[in-house]
A = this chain, B = another copy of it.
């Protein structure tokens, strides 16, 4: 496997306010995110040569953005890769820029999950009948939590408190994010005593159902300085997809996710990172549930196996900690419009690398990671994108 290190730059990004956007159509959100990105990059929309869109269920084919953006017969690819849709859309756009096919590309992710566009998981007609049993996302991730507690000897109370601390951290970070779905703190007590959704996951262990869109403008790194001085470079692109659709693989360890591990390793190798905990300045990782973030700490190599609890207790991943994670609030607080989440994470990393993250701003971050995860354990789609300050 090769790399595209330092060949592709992000010169503009945009992100809508996330939330229950009852008064906005998909087209409204697409236009809002794209025009913020155009303006941020200082590009004329007419100069965009090709586009990629990531959406799970809210749009079909490239036309779903060509229409509201009135893109003029340029190439537009729709990538659907569950919750990693827009992260993978960006990955493919990077390849197209890196190989020299296009000089200027738009990548957009969006999803309407409230008033239209989301009718639950798609009918799994492509599954073998033995896998065709129903499951819910909370139920599926709850099993990872109970398994994790058992394997590492956490009592139910210890386990639940560890997860709750992640929710408290992410809500704290989200309180500094004007575009977050929820901009309020929660207390440990509130999280611990919230109604149970699927034990041990309570209401505040689960991310919300959110509408939103995010966008990026890409160009070749050697052209980026023509647009702005503080462009951001795409350093590493990892993707790993698990084959165990139906959640019944007997050799899969549900407390450590190889999809996350392999996507991370691909990206680390491309960038030359041997100690991610020390070399990465910040990370936005997929936290559809608090247990998801906990397991991802370990699968990404931020914590040794079974020791993420100690790091959570020590505040390692807090805004002022050794490796701040989900600095904008994460899925938990910023929200999770499925197709938009990958680019939303990169939006935060991009702003942090530019020193423009407002009250959340970290001190001179050099490298930031965005990790998105879709599907179910054993059949996850995991993307890891590493962005860095220009050399």
Contacts and interface: CB of A to CB of B under 8 A. Distances in A.
A16 interface: no
A2 B92 contact: no
Interface in A94-145: 95-96, 98-103, 112, 116-117, 122, 124-126, 128
Interface residues of A, number: 70
A125 B70 CA distance: 18
B101 A1 contact: yes
A247 to B, nearest CB: 11
Contact of A78 (B4, B81, B244): B81
Contacts of A2: 99-103
Contacts of A375: 61, 63
Given A49-B1, A62-B81, A80-B78, A73 B117 contact: no
A357 interface: no
A70 B243 contact: yes
A194 to B, nearest CB: 30
A197 interface: no
Contacts of A66: 241-243, 245, 379
Contacts of A266: 75
A120 to B, nearest CB: 12
Most B Cβ at <10 Å: residue of A4, A50, A100: A100
A243 B73 contact: yes
A99 B97 CA distance: 9
Given A7-B99, A61-B375, A240 B67 contact: no
Residue among A49, A240, A241 with the most chain B CB within 10 A? A241
Contact of A245 (B63, B237, B245, B246): B63
Nearest to A115: B125
**Residue in A243, A259, A374 with the greatest tally of chain B CB atoms within 10 Å:** A243
Contact of A92 (B58, B59, B95, B126): B95
Contact of A243 (B69, B88, B103): B69
Query: Which A-B residue pairs are the 6 nearest by beta carbons?
Result: A75-B239, A99-B99, A98-B99, A67-B245, A95-B95, A62-B241
Interface of A: 1-4, 7, 25-27, 49-50, 58-64, 66-67, 69-82, 88, 91-92, 95-96, 98-103, 112, 116-117, 122, 124-126, 128, 237-246, 258-259, 262, 266, 374-375, 379, 381
Given A2-B100, A61-B381, A62-B81, 11 more contacts: A27-B126, A59-B126, A60-B82, A63-B242, A63-B245, A66-B379, A67-B243, A76-B241, A77-B91, A78-B79, A99-B99
11 contacts: A1-B101, A1-B103, A61-B241, A61-B381, A62-B241, A63-B245, A70-B243, A76-B381, A78-B81, A99-B100, A112-B125
